[in-house]
Amino acid sequence: MRGLALLLVLMATGASAQEACTQGDGTILRQVCYLSDPPPAAPYGHTILGDTPEWSSLSLDWGPGADEAYSGGARSLVMRLEGGIFEDVAPRIVELGDDPLPEVLVVNSEAGQGARALIFDVNADGVRVIAGPFIGQQNRWLAPVGVADLDGDGLAEIAWVDRPHLARVLRIFRVRGAGLVQVAEMDGVTNHRIGEDHITGGIRNCEQSAEMVLVTSDWSRVVGVTMRGKELRRRDLGPFNGAGSVDRAMRCG
């Protein structure tokens, strides 16, 4: 797989100099964190996320119910990229299937290639890496929307906005083997502004189906996007008046 080289380390970890963590269920996975110490071997230098560090490593901290088959008896599994960085605000614990083991969605950026989505699938054989395509140009980024069964067929889709400051294209992918394949797209929406240390919106479940909450490309309206088959449908959810308007939409308000 081009451009992907991971160093996996079974170890007990202390607190990093800087970290961004997402809490797990507390049983199998306690938390998953981006770590900035040690720093990346080669700085990427994009700073699209403001003062957010360039993360060099991803740590999975196991809970008391973690099976030694995949935890190796260690408290933590640290995955460090041998090239590139994690260019993201926080890792996401997601559910791709029916098994109880977690998957983690991250954004990886590399020199000359830009960003791509990676999914770390923890299973009884260890950690499987599922890789999406690179954007293909330095300093070009993607902002995840989330993972959910968007079309109601029982299978999870992965959604992100490709180049949220330039192209502003919502892309929907599914897992196929060790990669991700695109199944739908929509122009004219975004979820991030240059320099912000957060991603706007996400996926809500208000009316029996998953709906993506995004903003129009000019940041004037909040919109909901649903998926029917391979068709994406957009509806207006009201004016964008700052983060509160998106927060209300995410709460189905």
51-74 pLDDT tens trace: 999 999 999 988 888 776 566 666
pTM over 0.85: yes
Residue span(s) of the chain under CATH 2.40.128 come to 1-140
Distance CA 26, CA 175 (A): 26
pLDDT, position 21: 96
* pLDDT tens string 147-205: 999 999 999 999 999 999 999 999 999 999 889 999 999 999 999 999 999 999 999 99
- Can you spell out the DSSP letters for 99-134? SSS-EEEEEEEETTTEEEEEEEEEETTEEEEEE---
Domain 1-140 in CATH 3.40.50: no
> What's the pLDDT band for 1 if we cut at 50, 70, 90?
very low
Q: What rounded mean pLDDT belongs to the chain? A: 89
> What's the pLDDT band for 12 if we cut at 50, 70, 90?
very low
Q: Is the pLDDT of residue 7 over 60?
A: no
Alpha-carbon distances of 17 from 34, 82, 109, 155, rounded to whole Å: 11, 20, 21, 38
* H or E element in which residue 243 lies: helix 243-250
Distance CA 57, CA 38 (A): 8
Q: How many CA atoms lie within 13 A of 186 on its CB side?
A: 24
Distance CA 145, CA 113 (A): 21
For residue 26, count other CB atoms closer than 10 A to its CB: 11
Please say whether the beta carbons of 165 and 190 come within 8 A: yes
